[in-house]
Amino acid sequence: MTTLVTWHKAADLDEMVDGQIKPFTAGDLTMVICRLGNHYGALEDRCPHAGGPLSQGSIENGLLVCPWHGREYDPLTGRCEGYQSATAHPVEVRDDGIFVGA
């Protein structure tokens, strides 16, 4: 079975600086896009631990830190060492912006 992915523009190419996070809406999902160096990651804007808004967190030592309880997530993959990972979505860097599949 093939799943259809809809691509949503999350940011312009020159909009984000290294270490920045930005909330955006992709259809019915509230998400956060993160820039780490020249790479981008997109996670659902909900910490799986307690539902905290990851968009209100910060990038520290290369990890996205949840503002509620300090859980640390890889901003590109959503992985959280020893705990449930945040839901990640595919990202494409195109000539006209950064797009996220949902």
Share of the chain above pLDDT 70, in %: 98
pLDDT, tens digit, 9 for 90 and up, residues 74-91: 999 999 999 999 999 999
Is residue 45 in a domain?
yes
How many angstroms from the chain centroid is the CA of residue 88? 7
What's residue 70's pLDDT?
95
43 CB contacts (<8 Å, ≥6 apart)? 31, 32, 34, 54, 64, 73, 75, 78, 86, 87, 88, 89
> What tokens were used for 89?
């979505």
> What tokens were used for 32?
């956060």
pLDDT at 10 over 70: yes
Residue whose C-alpha is closest to residue 8's, from 38, 36, 39, 29: 29
pLDDT at 1 over 80: no
Q: For the chain, how many structural domains are there in total?
A: 1
pTM listed for this prediction: 0.92
Greater pLDDT, 95 or 49:
95
What's residue 43's pLDDT?
98
Is residue 21 in a domain?
yes
CATH code for the domain of 30: 2.102.10.10
Is residue 85 in a domain?
yes
Is residue 1 in a domain?
no
Is residue 87 in a domain?
yes
Is residue 2 in a domain?
no
